A and B are shown apart, each in its own frame.
Chain A
């Protein structure tokens, strides 16, 4: 399972280099979170259907309502692409940078990688709740009287639970990303910090 690059001293849980590992891990994380979001209703939470929300954004509400299958698929492609790109940004930029600036997270261990993933999930939750939902989805849904409050403090009939449910969604993404994108030293002493030097990043 572990991919070890020929000249690298870092191994990955999936794939042979950071880029490949990031894409695969981000795809899985996005899919798990997206499916969970569609099932939230079963746990008495607001349903988070980012596929359709992205579809409405690019196709428009009237076209999306008239063609729900096309809206879901087109929005899904955009949503999954976004999820993968955010995952690659995490793996190639945020992950090594956090290791350089936060001393306890320097060592390339599965636990540190996991903590970084959770932090990245929280970052995306803030971006989603502060900007994406209120600035893009709010005005889009205004004609059908579905309001989005500042920092997602309301969403249609829901209040603050929308914000916490969004946190849950992004935590699922971050947890899976942090568990699956897990570079560890291929050999040598444990806890050696290498990721910030770009070793293993192709």
Chain B
């Protein structure tokens, strides 16, 4: 569990990067909006924030 958690967080972070990249690619130029593109951007950023947050907690010196 202890060893697997950082790997899971890294996976979440990478998944976020992939979703963000795909969302950015399919998002049309302004002023058009794409429901799928913006959804993927939002989900990608969410996963990235969770992944980064995990590593910040994991690296906390008070642990």
Chain B's nearest CB lies how many Å from the CB of A98?
A: 15
Q: Which of A153-184 contact B (CB under 8 A)?
A: 157-161, 164-165, 167-168, 171-172, 175-176, 178-179, 182, 184
Size of B's binding interface in residues, CB under 8 A: 25
Residues 1-56 (chain B) with a chain A CB within 8 angstroms: 1, 5, 24, 27, 30, 33, 35, 37-39, 41-43, 45-46, 49-50, 53-54, 56
- Which size bracket describes the interface of A in this complex? 20 to 34
User: What is the predominant secondary structure among interface residues of chain A facing chain B?
Assistant: helix
Q: Complex Cα distance A38/B32, Å?
A: 20
Query: A11 within 8 Å of B by Cβ?
Result: yes
CB within 8 Å of B: which residues of A? Answer: 2, 11, 13, 43-46, 104, 109-111, 113-114, 118, 157-161, 164-165, 167-168, 171-172, 175-176, 178-179, 182, 184, 190
Provide 21 A-B residue pairs closer than 8 Å at the C-beta atoms, listed in order of the A residue: A11-B62, A43-B41, A44-B33, A44-B41, A46-B38, A110-B62, A111-B5, A111-B57, A111-B58, A114-B53, A118-B50, A118-B53, A161-B33, A161-B38, A167-B46, A171-B49, A175-B49, A178-B53, A178-B57, A182-B57, A184-B62
